[in-house]
A and B are shown apart, each in its own frame.
Chain A
């Protein structure tokens, strides 16, 4: 799983890299482009992502222009840029962190201010204004679970990656190799998995992502392109014929008709996206992808007929109010006490950073302190960002 995020850059000396990285990511999956394809309306998405969108409603997700899978074209240049950026990212990020630590520049925090444009129209990109304000929200409650006293500076964390590669004790596990380390070190450690020459036993994406221009070239010229599958007109097919088709393709034939149709469409998308790729996968890997789909989307189709739009019907019914308020107590207290203060000071004009906010921060020692500490950390580890209710 790719857990890097464009917002990582906001906490470095080079926050302007955030929009650069955003531009290298697909707007559907938010991940780096994987086999980018350009539509007739000149928008670019991962092959599998745009194929799924077109299957779903036949339109470009950005501009809503109608389009067809047959008209998609590869966007090799984007792939090369993405590959090159991913190679450069680890060194770029440690450089930016190191500098942050050495310079006396005030650390940019990431709390954004909603301005009028945010409210009025679509904000085009998540990265708008970097603002210097204490970060509340999830950070404050998450901080309960982190080991604040020993939180290393960014500089130390870089070192920690190297160290803790060898000693395997720590509170968080790398989501790729499972190695244990300090939470703060996970992100930097993760980058080592992408490093082209770093020895890693589990090249999850490397086979696909091995970033070399020649790979693209050779596979285009020397290797016979993988087979593509045609779309089917399902309305003309009886159930029996459809099941036969699925079994010929070597994919599961179980489930109601609606599921068979969706499964077949998903398989076509997986196979054809793979045919677009410069680093095609084996059929076995593709079947594994289909299996993942079957166990998430497929299962919900099977259990609820065709009601994917109605999220409610397939989700947990009873909302656990107690767990919720436990999770959110610090957010809640912060927001509520802020609201109370403004409520009392009623008629005075208010802005951000008004006296009311200052009072809240003083009253709320705990969350203010943790927010400050968090600002000093290089990154929040993904594996532990989801809070436990027993933290609070």
Chain B
């Protein structure tokens, strides 16, 4: 039963997520061989252009989790100020207090060992609803969101429809 703190804790989080999953969120390890690689599905929040969409993502955990946060990457195209064109998500909860890529971030919003996969996914859902256009990961998307909101929303809605095969 040799298992590290990280794998025990990930297992426990998975247990909790399975027995009481938050609405619109699903997450778990890709396979039983590697508890450090998870996949997640996030539903687009209601009342936003992402509504109706289902967005797959992967989470990669460091071996010293939860001392340090996982990285999260969408596995689909997603047009959003806080998501790099590669799909990598850039929000404060995914940054350890030590690193400071975005100076506006409060230390209190950052990663801490008491955060969890569930809290990350909830933060990402709320990020979809409310982008943060200060030091954006996708500059073009941030610009469009700021200056041409209608166009931004249309573009997102279109990709959601395409993703569902309705377009």
Contact = CB atoms under 8 A, between A and B. Distances in A.
A113 B25 CA distance: 10
B98 interface: yes
Interface string A334-360: 011001101100000010100000000
Given A61-B112, A308-B62, A316-B34, A5 B12 contact: yes
A299 B64 CA distance: 11
Interface stretch (A27-35, A155-163, A211-219): A27-35
Contacts of B36: 311, 315
A296 B63 contact: yes
Contact of A385 (B1, B14, B37, B116): B14
A315 B16 CA distance: 24
Interface stretch (A84-92, A121-129, A228-236, A253-261): A121-129
Nearest to A43: B114
B147 interface: no
Interface string B60-72: 1111101111110
Classify the secondary structure of B's interface with A: mixed
A153 B3 CA distance: 32
Contact of A10 (B19, B96, B118): B19
B112 A380 contact: no
B1 A175 contact: yes
B151 interface: no
Interface in B1-59: 1-9, 11-26, 28-32, 34-37, 39, 41, 43-46, 51-54, 56, 58
Interface of A: 1-3, 5-8, 10-11, 27-31, 49, 52-53, 56-57, 59, 61-62, 64, 110-114, 118-120, 122-123, 126-127, 135-139, 142, 175-176, 204, 288, 291-293, 295-297, 299-300, 308-312, 314-316, 319-321, 323-324, 327-328, 331-332, 335-336, 339-340, 342-343, 350, 352, 379-380, 382, 385-389
